[in-house]
Homo-oligomer: A and B are copies of this chain.
Amino acid sequence: VTERLVVVGGDAGGMTAASQARRRVPDAAELEIVAFERGEFTSYSACGIPYFVGDVVHEYEDLVARSPSEHRQRGIDARTRHEVLGIDLDRGTVRVRDLTGGGEDDHPFDQLVLGTGAVPVRPKLDGINAGGVFGVQTLADGIAVRRAVDDGKPARAVVVGSGYVGLEMAEAMVQRGVDVTLVEVFEQPMHTLDLDMGALVADALRAVGVELYLGEPATGFETTGGRVSAVVTEQRTLPCDLVLLGLGVEPDSALAAEAGIGVGETGGIRTDETMRTTADGIWAAGDCVETWHRVSHRPVAIALGTHANKQGRVVGINVTGGEATFPGVIGTAVTKVCAYEVARTGLTEREAAEVGIDAVATTIEATTRAGYFPGAEAIKVKLVAEGGTGRLLGGQIVGQEGAAKRVDVLAAAVWNGMTAEELVGLDVGYAPPFSPLWDPVLVAARKLTDLVGS
């Protein structure tokens, strides 16, 4: 008999699971795979949306890795404009509405993969649903913003919040010639960095002309004829033609919760390390799940395509009888603000304090290449380690070209529980076009060993 795998959600988590399963079981008579997606698109790069809005990437089609018809050619019955309304665990069915006008139906499954993704945080403020206020998560959101810029020729945009997408949208607006103001409730942009490193991001934003109001929450929006005309904070009113919400996203776990599938304190669907939910035969992957932070030992919900893909791969292997596990995350992230690159991994000093770890930290300044080599750019590296043991907890990097991807070696060091002293000894690559004699990450580690007191 044919086993039936149903996937809810047509982007990274769900479709990677579907593709991996199909690769392992090519025969559709053995395994039927149906994927329901309420939007029009499948398997696109959500992380690329700001670059499409900024016209760095010219066509939204470039962001689509695999269209619905390409999935169908590969033996996955991808049905767009189909919304899953509910899951009946006892009967093993999902209730699906055909948004093109085809009505509702129940579809049976033997195994179910939830890849419902995330939704932008939208606080309940006056005017937040007015025209011209955009949350940016799906490709459809990105196309709408791009059209608003192309056709509306806004003179001023306000970005509310400074998560990664917020900052990337601020850059996109700068590139489109729109005056940009950023309003942020915290005293720094990018709250996933420590204050001192966040200050460097603030400098980078100001350097490209972004006006910043920090420590200043948006309290509401003024509207004119149903369209936004200003962002209001406690201190001021900022007239604008366009508002971009950059307050982050939250897991879209409503469908799971309504079906009685476990949802964690983060709002993400709970899974074990095989990505199985609390219900038998029900799996989840991507922005809708909560995962395990290997350093803080806390559950976290981090919306990022790379996690979604890895989790989807694990699901695809496990639903077809293989054995794979997702090992958790350490919060690695990189982004770019015009010429400035920003990266982080592991715990910040603040996060270490929040989880009760006694930490020491140091920040160094260096260059991305040998100081005498053309193109050497400034880079600052902050490292955080556990006091006493010197075990690395995390790192943050802000710098120009060549800075950010150095976070990967820090990620590997944190992941493997290396100490600062061990990192000093690590055999990383050196040649003048690529690094000073002591790579900046080693310089930071060397300085940190003094503080640890070995």
Known: A327-B422, A408-B408, A427-B331. A45 touches B432 (CB 8 A): yes
> In this assembly, does A304 line the interface, its C-beta being within 8 Å of a C-beta of chain B?
yes
> In this assembly, does A86 line the interface, its C-beta being within 8 Å of a C-beta of chain B?
no
Report yes or no: A51 in contact with B412, Cβ–Cβ below 8 A. Answer: no
Report yes or no: B372 in contact with A425, Cβ–Cβ below 8 A. Answer: no
From A178-186, A251-259, A332-340, A355-363, the one touching the partner chain is A332-340
Contacts of A413 in B (CB 8 A): 412
Report yes or no: B425 in contact with A48, Cβ–Cβ below 8 A. Answer: no
Report yes or no: B430 in contact with A407, Cβ–Cβ below 8 A. Answer: no
Nearest first, the 4 A-B pairs at minimum CB distance are: A412-B412, A334-B429, A416-B416, A408-B409
> In this assembly, does A155 line the interface, its C-beta being within 8 Å of a C-beta of chain B?
no
Report yes or no: A372 in contact with B412, Cβ–Cβ below 8 A. Answer: no
In angstroms, Cα B431 to Cα A407, docked, is: 12
Contacts of A341 in B (CB 8 A): 434
Contacts of A437 in B (CB 8 A): 12, 45, 47, 305-306, 309
Report yes or no: A310 in contact with B409, Cβ–Cβ below 8 A. Answer: no
Instruction: With both chains docked as a complex, state the minimum distance between the C-beta of A416 and any C-beta of chain B, in angstroms.
Output: 4
Q: List 18 A-B contacts (CB under 8 A).
A: A47-B432, A48-B373, A57-B372, A62-B372, A164-B431, A306-B439, A327-B422, A327-B425, A331-B427, A332-B429, A336-B431, A336-B434, A341-B434, A345-B429, A411-B427, A412-B418, A415-B426, A416-B416
In angstroms, Cα B339 to Cα A105, docked, is: 57
- How many copies of this chain sit in the oligomeric assembly? 2
In angstroms, Cα B430 to Cα A329, docked, is: 13
Interface set, chain A 308-349, CB cutoff 8 A to B = 309-310, 313, 325-327, 329-336, 341, 343, 345
Most buried by B among A336, A406, A428: A428
List 9 additional contacts besides A12-B437, A405-B405; criterion CB under 8 Å. Answer: A45-B432, A306-B430, A307-B427, A334-B431, A336-B433, A345-B429, A405-B429, A411-B426, A415-B426
In angstroms, Cα B422 to Cα A36, docked, is: 32
Contacts of A422 in B (CB 8 A): 327
Known: A372-B48, A372-B57, A424-B310. A429 touches B408 (CB 8 A): yes
> In this assembly, does A267 line the interface, its C-beta being within 8 Å of a C-beta of chain B?
no
